[in-house]
Amino acid sequence: MLIEFKVKNFRSFREEVTLSMVASADKTLPDNLISVPEFGGRSLLHSAVVYGPNAAGKSNLIAAAQFVDEFVNTSMERKVNSPIEATPFLLDTEPNTDPSEFEITFIDDQNVRYQYGFHVTTRQVVREWLVAYPKGLPQTWFEREQAVNAEPSWYFGRNLKGKNSQVAELTRPDVLFLSNAAQLNHRQLGRVLEWFQRCLRVIDAPDSPYFSTYTAARAKEDEQVQKLIRNLMVAADFGITDFEVREETFTDKDFPDDIPVELRDRLINKKHLDVYMRHAMEAGTEVSLPLEEESRGTQRLFALSGPLVEVLTNGWTLFVDELDASLHPFMVRFLVELFHNSQANPRGAQLIFNTHDTTLMDCCVFRRDQIWFVEKDHQNCSHLYPLLDYSPRKDEALAKGYLLGRYGAIPFLGEPQWEETRHGKA
């Protein structure tokens, strides 16, 4: 479970911002809370939603989570001297050589809290640390400092067992110690890395064919997953009664005439998965349509359904960029409320997403501590802040207040300037 996520000097976030999933003392909507006795009796939130105008930085928050997830999981696989894709804030008058900074605090499935972070440039890791709370008290397991063109300095706490110094010697400047240690079978750090590998999911490009392919593959290999995906699609009321995944082989008829020969030769006779949606017709008959013939909304929901089902089933944490894209507001509300439903979400899964859908800004859907905003200042720096900063009343009409500019994070539109044509018309 995610407790807190911090980012600084990444894309449009120049200063440090913090997304907290720690619940306030608000007593409303108790179903939206996760009781965590190991966290000092405090509760966490099942979901959080981020609002803001276009280009304010909402997607960059999801991109930051995506970068952390990918870098932790793959830094040890990177080629030597290949650049690290951590883009710092670029709108300074002087070149920005400061590192990008990330920190994530979470509770794993063993109910141990961890606070892990790193600072990184496009060339190397500058700082890295891990604090564990196995008995509620902090234990610094390791710290790493490494200035550019200098030897690294290391600190290993007495509670971190294993061949730490030997692993440190085998860790390149552009590789995370956590990732490398886990790959080298470090038992304690392997359990930490497992949270990133299994429990953190980020969907930053939901329209990518990858997610439909992933969902199809999971449905084909696991009947229980297929059943849950089917239930979700049918509940969505798209007129769908079922779906099937067929393994087929690429043939000449599958390719357009202008496909490059090299690509054709690489794909010909290869196996691939096709998805067909079944629709009920009159007289008890059914018709199957390929997924690509369905509406954008149906395609989008199917792509999301695989990750959603896995996250809800296992109690994982999911970030989604633009959850509402191609989906009706009622559908988005339906998906959000799955996370607030103890039967659909028995293990405390979490959903963090951004949206422009103000119909969700409803005190019947979200508590006041679940709503966040992103806006840019006059220097184009993004700032993330909670609705609670404005101390709204429990019965306040939040959507109306937001659209009136009461909480900021709305676009200010000027008058368009049209050039006159030769005939004096725009």
Q: Where does the pLDDT of residue 364 fall: very low under 50, low under 70, confident under 90, or very high at 90 and above?
A: very high
Do 299 and 383 belong together in one domain?
no
Q: What is the structure's pLDDT at 193? A: 97
Stretch 61-89: mean pLDDT, rounded?
94
- Residue 262 covered by a domain: yes
Angle, helices 329-339/296-314, rounded to nearest 10 degrees: 10
Q: Which of 133-137, 155-159, 288-292 has the highest mean pLDDT?
A: 155-159
Contact (CB, 8 A) for 243 and 278: yes
Per-residue pLDDT, 404: 94
Task: Read off the CATH number of the domain in which 86 is found.
Answer: 3.40.50
In this prediction, residue 258 carries a pLDDT of 80
| Radius of gyration of the chain from its Cα atoms, rounded to whole angstroms | 24
Answer yes or no: is 425 within a domain. Answer: no
65 & 158 share domain? yes
Where is the domain boundary, 313, 337, 366?
313
Residue 182, H or E segment: helix 177-183
Q: Point out the domain boundary residue: 288, 313, 338.
A: 313
Residues 120 and 213 grouped into a single domain: no
* 20: its two tokens: 């907290």
**242/227 Cα distance (integer angstroms):** 9
Same domain, 260 and 332: no
Please give the pLDDT value at position 40.
79
The yes-or-no verdict on residue 110 having pLDDT over 70 is yes
Same-domain pairing of 384 and 345: yes
In a domain, 344, yes or no: yes
For residue 72, tell me if it sits in a domain. yes
Residues ≥6 apart with Cβ < 8 Å to 3: 20, 21, 22, 39, 44, 105, 106, 107, 113
In a domain, 423, yes or no: no
Query: Is residue 50 domain-shared with residue 162, that is, in the same domain?
Result: yes
Q: What percent of the chain has pLDDT over 70?
A: 98
Residues 213 and 196 in one domain: no
| Same-domain check for residues 159 and 130 | yes
Q: Is residue 419 part of a domain?
A: no
Mean pLDDT, residues 343-369: 96
Residue 69 and residue 158 in one domain: yes
Q: What is the mean pLDDT of residues 233-254?
A: 87
Chosen domain end from 278, 313, 348: 313
If asked whether residues 115 and 30 sit together in one domain, one would say yes
Residue 259 maps to a domain: yes
36-59 exposure pattern, b = at least 16 Cβ within 10 A, e = fewer: beebeebbbbbbbbbbbbeebbbb
User: DSSP string of 285-353?
Assistant: -EEEEEGGGS-HHHHHHHHHHHHHHHHHHHT-EEEES-TTTTS-HHHHHHHHHHHT-TTT-TT--EEEE
- Band (pLDDT 50/70/90 cuts) for residue 208 is confident
- The pLDDT value recorded for residue 101 is 98
Domain of 306 in residue numbering reads as: 208-313
Task: Say whether pLDDT at 424 is over 60.
Answer: no
Number of domains in the chain: 2
Please determine, for residue 196, whether its predicted confidence score (pLDDT) is greater than 80. Answer: yes
If asked whether residues 295 and 332 sit together in one domain, one would say no
325 and 200 housed in the same domain = yes
Helix or strand run (H / E) with residue 73: helix 58-74
**What are the tens digits of pLDDT across the range 275-296?**
999 998 887 788 999 999 999 9
Min mean pLDDT across 249-258, 388-397, 411-420 is at 411-420
**Alpha carbon distance 266, 374 (integer Å):** 44
pLDDT reading at 380 higher than 80: yes
Amino acid occupying residue 262 = E
Q: Which residues pair with 49 in a beta bridge?
A: 353, 371
Residue 55 belongs to a domain: yes
Res 41: pLDDT: 80
Residue 425: pLDDT band with limits 50, 70, 90: low
